[in-house]
Structure 1
Amino acid sequence: MKKLSMLIAATLGSIAMTAQAQEAPAYENWVGGFAQYYNADGAKGEPSGGLDDGRGFGGELGFRFDPSWAVRFELGRVLLDNSNGYNDDGTQVGADVMYFFEEDAAYLFSGLREQSLDSESYRMLSAGLGKHWELSDNLRLITEIATYYDFGQRYKDYSAKLGLAYVFGNVSSTPTSQPDSDGDGVYDAVDRCPSSPAGTSVDATGCNIDMDGDGVNNAQDQCPSTAAGTSVDARGCAIKDTDNDGVVDSKDECANTPSSDKVDALGCSVFEKEEVSVELDILFANNSSVISNADSARIQNFVDFMNRYPNTQAVVEGHSSSVGSAEYNQFLSEKRAKTVRQLLIDDYGIDADRLEAQGFGESQLKDTSNTAEAHRINRRIEVKVTALVETKATR
């Protein structure tokens, strides 16, 4: 058993070291002969067991129907030692299905064996690992290890095979290396760009992996001739921004935005709130609430503002000078405010609900000096209206 273990280890080591180094050619059929080291289960053998190491020899015939699969038939003779002082010998026939690894690095097999010794017959399941080593176009060295399992008595046997096979049918020699003139890893036969500069990353056709240099590989590039420096999307196509607002057309919800407008993430103009206002001042004669210039441009300007911003409201504030009693001046200031309010309603069509009149008498003098000029500018009404409007923000 120790000899078998050493042989198995040696065979596995040889296969592992040469699996990548040796390429076995394809072939259809083979016929071969072999010698065999055979180790039988110690409990096997009639009448009292005791079978031990032995040897064998035989022949095999194989048929390979594609690069990976084959069937094999085997006929052999086994000669086994017996610890009880006599030898058992007999025949062994079998058939296997074989699976060849890529480039014939090795093969696995499994099948059935019928073993007939002097005293008994055994039906066994076989399984193992082997390799055909190329000696020439038509000769192969056979190396193989196997184990056998008896269906009836559950015996376990082992063997190691060394043989020589003659291959026939469709036999091809080890393929010669194909030329690669530019050294890009793609054979000249399929290289569409056979003069790629050294160090260039190439695709399966041997061409620059990004022909137009836009950062998108040829395989995904739907626009393979994009001009240098063009911004592209994931498909390798130019990113369009028709109105040049910084938002690509595919995301721009407001096309043709003026170039001066500041835009948001959707490409639409950004609006900012701005406060606008208008003031109206009217002066009155002494002790009077009569409007002397009811059609003045200043009044019309105020009315235009009120019409432009219809949601605004105004307080018409009436004032007086400090001449006379405070009670009278309060009355006079209220009358002046009401007069202007009514003028805006009657003559200019401002909605009455938007206007309020309020008198302040002499409590808010613009000039506190006791002069004729001070009294003149204090006899007045004042109106101020403020509105919030949205204006376009500029870049």
Structure 2
Amino acid sequence: MKTLNLITISLLTAGLTAPVFAQQTEVEQNDFYLGARLGAFSADDDRVAVKNGQVFSVDDGFKTITSGVEAGMMFTEAWEARIYYDYMEADLVGAGDAYGDSYGVDALYHFNNNFYAGLGVNNTEIGDVTDVAARVTLGHRSFITDNLAWRVEGGAQRGWEEDYTEMFANVGLQWFFGGRDTSPEPRTRPEPRPEPQQAAPEPESKPVDSDGDGVVDSKDKCANTPKNYSVDETGCILYENETITEELLVEFDLNSSNIRSGERSDIKDMAEFMKEHPQLDITIHGHTDSTGEAKYNQWLSERRAEAVANALVKQHGIEKSRVDFKGHGESQPKVRENSAADRQENRRIEATLKVVNRVPKTR
């Protein structure tokens, strides 16, 4: 991505110096143009995107590629109004790519025939997360012919709803209609048409696989699939199940149901996992060692399980209806007791949660 940043800087530098192939052509009032654009976008380091129902951070730096179209009109020789649309492909931290789009309107003021600046309103959406922003633009435009111009731009935008500050840079080609070169071309005597000759048969075209997924375009129902994903016979991504397990183990002192201070971080981790997966409920299983009477140990195991259940509900905000607890006394030892250390391992609570996610299958 360092190479992309160098390319962006080079394009901006080229635009701010008069190119040798540019010609002096003045824009005129009511000139209208259509254009194509290609660029890079630097996302804010706090921007996030949603993919497969999960939230991921968008890579910052000029790592988001944009391509699109634009249209504009010169209302005076100095003021221009423009609308545009860009398709966006962004890198996510640890989750591949996310897609989105960006569109908006700009008011541009031309200081002379080449340099201009502007203000605008922009809507940027990446991975189903949308932000409206105010945008400032600096640019340079040069004409290649009377009707064809190229331009390079850079600038920044500031979000209104989210505290995002983001940068962009792009280049574009613009074709102007009307008012460019109205002088009539001299007519020449038409040359006699040659006798038509039988055209040679065109060679058979080979099937095209634009996204390189092994399925030709004529059969590909899912275009632009990432090359590292496995696909089916129609070119669509294959998915597989991924199981994520979260375990909780808390030990207690002899004859105690008080939670040790060193064990509280593990309970917090389990609470965070439950908040990330609100469809899951939990059952806390309490245990004791074999010291003491069985009836007392049953009561103590229930108190230990209840203490951890209360910590999840009262200290970490988990709904009470999602938390259950049971005591098993000394009936389910973790290890056979031959020492004080063995008895300590049996004085515990245990809980396990599992969730299955659907993830793309890689090649």
TM-score in terms of structure 2 length: 0.43
Q: Return the structure number with greater relative CO, CA threshold 8 A, min gap 6.
A: 2
Q: Which has the higher strand share?
A: 2
Between structure 1 and structure 2, the one with the greater Rg is 1
TM-score in terms of structure 1 length: 0.40
